[in-house]
């Protein structure tokens, strides 16, 4: 895989360099609530601009239906990128139309532009190779060189991720190089004990990575909504908690395999429960009760791990050599259900281990709860991409960057 440093050494002054970034940031209207993914691409964009390239930044945002939708415009992300660069960033109001063509043509050496949301064109995500290829051809007309730096999208076989690199000289940006290097430490060069913390809402989202990690990890801690399928698989009452009954047989098999292989599988000792989901708009006090994880009342739902589990999980992380964490322990966006996630984050901060926060909601939680990002070994920008890499899957966006 060619690196951006190699590309810079060859010279990019005056060349149009297409940077496939991941600017898929959360928005409240037009206000960015977490700019982590924008900050992550700044080193690559700045290095190219400083070398005299004419930088064309492209990304998706959200899930528009293959047509323009103002709710998913990249305009706020373009403005924030300009603030972070300390330079003007031009913005094209379409992807491959007149505005994009004119905006790119108007770039001077060292200039930066962002084109509108790639998913405003149906060709970006099409499953039809010809339709995707046709869109990639139009994108290729905007550039001389391609740099892949949108790690959060490399698990997608999309036009700008998979098809476009085949049409242009290409290299990996700094972010992708960093992410791949970190993930190799989780697969090929692991310091033990290797402890994995998994949370989030659905166990089905994590089945592949659990299956793979049963061959790699020494200890797996489970929290979040997915834990109730595990508790149910052990025969416990889970009340009205989130439950995927169809996954119980698979979970039972994983628990049996973990025991057979000597992998310590740790489930909560206690949970915070309520009769209703908290009001996420007003964040009104929820007044949860704490109950043992094996006796959740039939009319209550579990919404966070309890105080005993926080202590338990912290102790299970204290001696780790490597930690991978993906998924919050509860409804961390509400203050009454944030302490489980906070406790895990703090345990990672306190640990001497190489710690990796696996993107998505975990990365958002770290920032929302006020932790210093530098206190962790690495905070990934790609939750889904990280999980699929750890599952051993071939990621289309990485394969496309291989020479």
Q: Is 138 a catalytic residue?
A: no
Q: Is 23 labeled as ligand-binding? A: yes
Q: Is 380 labeled as ligand-binding? A: no
Q: Is 202 a catalytic residue?
A: yes
Q: Is 199 labeled as ligand-binding? A: no
User: Catalytic residue among 111, 152, 358, 360, which?
Assistant: 360
Distances (CA, A) of 54 to 45, 226, 357: 10, 46, 33
User: Catalytic residue among 37, 132, 138, 219, which?
Assistant: 37
Residues contacting residue 51 through CB under 8 Å, at least 6 positions apart? 8, 11, 12, 13
User: Catalytic residue among 157, 202, 257, 393, which?
Assistant: 202
Distances (CA, A) of 221 to 5, 129, 176, 259: 39, 41, 28, 14
Q: Is 110 labeled as ligand-binding? A: no
Q: Is 367 a catalytic residue?
A: no
Spell out the long-range contacts of 375-381 with Cβ–Cβ below 8 A and sequence spacing 24 or more.
375/348, 375/349, 376/348, 376/349, 377/182, 377/353, 378/178, 378/182, 379/36, 380/151, 380/179, 380/182, 380/356, 381/22, 381/36, 381/37, 381/40, 381/151, 381/152, 381/175, 381/179
Instruction: Identify the three-state secondary structure at position 209.
Output: helix
Pair of tokens at residue 51: 């070398």
Classify residue 235 by burial, with Cβ atoms within 10 Å: 0-12, 13-18, 19+. exposed
Q: Is 37 labeled as ligand-binding? A: yes
Q: Is 63 labeled as ligand-binding? A: yes
- 156 near 396, Cβ under 8 Å? yes
Instruction: Identify the three-state secondary structure at position 143.
Output: coil
Q: Is 37 a catalytic residue?
A: yes
Q: Is 123 labeled as ligand-binding? A: no
Q: Is 156 labeled as ligand-binding? A: yes
Q: Which H or E element spans position 385?
A: helix 383-390
Q: Is 119 labeled as ligand-binding? A: yes
Cis peptide before 193 (omega within 30 of 0): yes
Residues contacting residue 29 through CB under 8 Å, at least 6 positions apart? none
Task: Indicate if the alpha-carbon torsion angle 75, 81, 87, 89 is positive or negative.
Answer: negative
Per DSSP, helices labelled H in 245-370 are: 248-261, 307-317, 339-350, 360-368
- 238 near 291, Cβ under 8 Å? no
CA distance linking residue 385 with residue 382, whole number of Å? 5
Q: Is 279 labeled as ligand-binding? A: no
Q: Is 132 labeled as ligand-binding? A: no
User: Catalytic residue among 306, 327, 384, 397, which?
Assistant: 384
CA distance linking residue 175 with residue 173, whole number of Å? 6
Give the residue numbers annotated as catalytic, written as ranges: 37, 202, 360, 384
Q: Which residues define the annotated binding site for ATP?
A: 206, 302, 333, 359-362
Q: Which residues define the annotated binding site?
A: 22-24, 37, 60-63, 119, 156, 206, 302, 333, 359-362
Q: Which residues define the annotated binding site for substrate?
A: 22-24, 37, 60-63, 119, 156
């Amino acid at each position: 895989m060619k690196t951006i440093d190699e590309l810079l050494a060859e010279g990019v002054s005056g060349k149009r360099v297409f940077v496939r970034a991941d600017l898929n940031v959360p928005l409240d209207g037009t206000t960015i609530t977490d700019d982590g993914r924008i900050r992550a691409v700044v080193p690559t964009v700045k290095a190219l601009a400083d070398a005299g390239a004419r930088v064309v930044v492209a990304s998706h945002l959200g899930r528009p239906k293959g047509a323009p939708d103002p709710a998913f415009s990249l305009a706020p992300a373009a403005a924030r990128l300009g603030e972070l660069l300390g330079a003007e960033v031009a913005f094209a109001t379409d992807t491959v139309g007149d505005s994009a063509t004119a905006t790119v043509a108007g770039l001077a050496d060292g200039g930066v532009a962002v084109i509108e949301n790639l998913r405003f064109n149906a060709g970006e995500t099409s499953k039809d190779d010809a339709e995707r290829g046709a869109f990639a051809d139009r994108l290729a007309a905007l550039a001389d060189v391609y740099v892949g730096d949108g790690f959060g999208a490399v698990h997608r076989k999309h036009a700008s991720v998979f098809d476009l690199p085949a049409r242009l000289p290409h290299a990996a940006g700094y972010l992708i190089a960093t992410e791949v290097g970190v993930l190799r430490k989780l697969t090929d060069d692991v310091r033990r004990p290797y402890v994995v913390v998994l949370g989030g809402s659905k166990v089905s989202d994590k089945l592949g990575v659990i299956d793979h990690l049963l061959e790699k990890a020494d200890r797996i801690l489970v929290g979040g909504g997915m834990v109730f399928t595990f508790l149910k698989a052990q025969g416990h009452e889970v009340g009205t908690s989130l439950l995927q009954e169809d996954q119980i047989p698979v979970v039972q098999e994983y628990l049996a395999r973990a025991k057979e292989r000597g992998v310590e599988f740790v489930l909560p000792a206690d949970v915070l429960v309520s009769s209703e989901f908290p009001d996420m708009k007003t964040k009104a006090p929820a007044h949860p009760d704490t109950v043992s994880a094996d006796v959740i009342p039939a009319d209550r739902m579990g919404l966070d791990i309890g105080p005993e589990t926080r202590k338990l999980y912290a102790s299970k992380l204290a001696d780790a050599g490597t930690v991978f964490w993906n998924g919050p322990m509860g409804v961390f966006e509400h203050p009454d259900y944030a302490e489980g996630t906070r406790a895990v984050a703090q345990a990672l901060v306190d640990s001497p281990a190489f710690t990796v926060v696996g993107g998505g909601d975990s990365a958002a939680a770290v920032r929302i709860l006020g932790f210093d990002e530098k206190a962790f070994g690495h905070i990934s920008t790609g939750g889904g991409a990280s999980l699929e890499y750890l599952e051993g899957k071939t990621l289309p966006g990485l394969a496309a960057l291989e020479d």
